[in-house]
Amino acid sequence: MNVISTPNAPCAIGPYSQAIVANGMVFTSGQIALRPDGTFLEGDVEAQTTQVLENLQAVLKEAKSGLNYVVKTTIFLANMDDFASVNAVYGSFFGEHKPARSTVAVKTLPKNALVEIEAIALLS
């Protein structure tokens, strides 16, 4: 098991790792719209989703993986009415690659974020 940490994504805000590599797979922690310096990106769900996916890209890159190796994502939304907006941004990052995915509405996310995404990926 290998702990992944990169300064190109925000540090964990609790007792967890940015990601863990185990048995040829990368398991990321959920990312919210924190910038790599730890400040929270205020803004609409599209801006937050962009930051979240940039964070995931940075963590996956550090783990020797990437979005094209993602096999499963889970999206947590503060408001299911944002589903279409998040889909548009998500699709622009993944393109033709379409990993398995679950999307769930939650009551509250850390820092009152609008979206959180976690991923499971293969190593490149």
CATH of domain 2-122: 3.30.1330.40
pLDDT in tens, 35-75: 999 999 999 999 999 999 999 999 999 999 999 999 999 99
Q: How far is CA 101 from the centre of its chain?
A: 12
Residue range 88-94: average pLDDT? 98
For the cut 90, the answer to whether the pLDDT of residue 13 exceeds it is no
Single pTM value for the model: 0.97
pLDDT band at 4 (very low <50, low <70, confident <90, very high): very high
| Domain ranges (residues) in the chain | 2-122
Mean pLDDT of all residues belonging to the chain:
97
Per-residue CA distances from 4 to 29, 55, 94, 115 (Å): 10, 13, 22, 22
Tokens of 23: 């048995």
The Cα–Cα gap between 20 and 17 comes to 7
Residue percentage of the chain with pLDDT more than 90: 97
What is the predicted pLDDT for the residue at 51? 98
